[in-house]
Amino acid sequence: MTVLTGLRVLVVEDEPVVAMYLEDILDELGCITIGPANRLSEGLALAEGPLDAAILDINLAGERSNAIAELLRARGVPFAFASGYGNAPEGFGAPMIEKPYRTADIGRALNTLLGE
């Protein structure tokens, strides 16, 4: 188990309650939440900053978060998708965290992303 303490994790999630919950989970894991961003534009802006990992909700109030994923991939920042339903967008090779999620799901996903 990698130590996740101090990791800067971008959260892109349009549902406030869910975003807060994820924020709490990351807090519990010792990570620093960047965001949460609930719109594509906001997510894109935050993705430019210093990051260690990201968790992207696929559907952002009707927009898809692919653009953020592409930016992160270009920057080499590992990320996972999160969604209530469906498959991760193809071509990114990113893992998928299915809602509703538990603390352990997030921890495992982050460990995977950081290539323990």
CB of 18 to another protein, least distance (A): 5
Q: Which is nearer to another protein, 7 or 22 (CB)?
A: 22
What is the CA angle 82-88-78, rounded to 5? Answer: 70
20 binds another protein (CB under 8 A): yes
Smaller CB separation from another protein, 3 or 104: 104
Residues 60-89 that bind another protein (CB under 8 A): 61, 83-86
Report the residue number, 16 or 30, with the smaller CB distance to another protein.
16
CA distance 109 to 113: 6
Beta bridge partners of 11: 55
Q: Answer yes or no whether residue 19 interacts with another protein by CB under 8 A.
A: yes
Give the SS3 label for residue 29: helix
> In the Cβ-directed half-sphere of 65, how many Cα atoms lie within 13 Å?
34
Q: Please, what is the minimum distance in Å from the beta carbon of residue 7 to another protein?
A: 21
Inter-residue contact 83 to 56 (CB < 8 Å): no
Closer of 92 and 101 to another protein (Cβ): 101
Which of these, 89, 111, 110, lies nearest to 33 by C-alpha position?
110
Residues that bind another protein (CB under 8 A): 14-21, 24, 36, 38-39, 59, 61, 83-86, 98-101
